[in-house]
């Protein structure tokens, strides 16, 4: 259930929690984007500074919720150990026939990403947000399709990039971001970092 303060529009910020990416991973994704942009599909491509692996989008939350969320995420972070994340593979949501989002995949051993997502989901429910019932699919968004009629050449190019591999990095914590929508696209700001123990 959405808190009444947020329903009335009194929210401190739009927020989400994510895993930040190191420069080398972003370099590889940027190189992939340059190759894909050339096919001419109408799409909004994610800027380098906005690349991340989202664990849970919270939407609009109040200042009180933000404070409580930080307390819970800090506590949950202490129960998670750093783990490797391999960034590879490429695909589209909801599917290749009607793509809306183009993504690069992320994998980790022992369901570590699923555990981190569960920690974020539990924090969301603890501050009164509705459950996110969609299955968690770890990924990094690269683009949002603006006109599916122009997407066919892009999907063909994506097929040729099926073996894309950006390498691996160590996930050592979560970061809470605020998100401000602007005419030039979203602007993300770090609110608080939650290192793993």
Beta carbons within 8 Å of 167's beta carbon, 6+ residues apart:
24, 25, 28, 86, 87
Phi, psi (rounded to 5 degrees) for 185: 115, 175
Distance separating the N- and C-terminal Cα atoms of the chain: 32
Give the angle subtended at the CA of 138 by the CAs of 135 and 139, to the nearest 5°: 125
Q: Is 115 a catalytic residue?
A: no
Catalytic residue among 86, 115, 137, 139: 139
Copy the structure tokens of residue 7. 């329903």
Residue 7 exposed, middle or buried by CB count within 10 Å (0-12, 13-18, 19+): exposed
Catalytic residue among 52, 86, 115, 137: 52
Catalytically active residues, by annotation: 52, 139
């Amino acid at each position: 259930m959405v808190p009444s303060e947020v329903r009335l529009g009194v929210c401190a910020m739009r927020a989400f929690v994510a895993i930040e990416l190191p420069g080398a991973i972003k370099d590889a994704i940027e190189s992939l984007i340059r190759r894909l942009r050339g096919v001419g599909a109408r799409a909004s491509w994610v800027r380098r500074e906005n690349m991340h692996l989202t664990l849970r989008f919270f939407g609009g939350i109040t200042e009180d919720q933000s404070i409580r969320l930080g307390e819970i995420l800090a506590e949950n972070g202490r129960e998670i150990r750093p783990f490797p994340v391999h960034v590879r593979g490429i695909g589209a949501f909801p599917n290749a026939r009607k793509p809306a989002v183009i993504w690069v995949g992320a994998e980790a051993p022992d369901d570590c990403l699923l555990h981190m997502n569960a920690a974020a989901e539990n924090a969301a429910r603890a501050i009164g947000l509705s459950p996110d019932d969609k299955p968690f699919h770890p990924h990094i968004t690269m683009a949002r399709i603006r006109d599916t009629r122009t997407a066919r050449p892009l999907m063909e190019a994506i097929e040729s990039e099926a073996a894309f591999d950006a390498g691996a990095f160590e996930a050592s914590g979560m970061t809470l971001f605020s998100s401000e929508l602007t005419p030039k696209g979203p602007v993300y700001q770090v609110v608080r970092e939650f290192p793993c123990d």
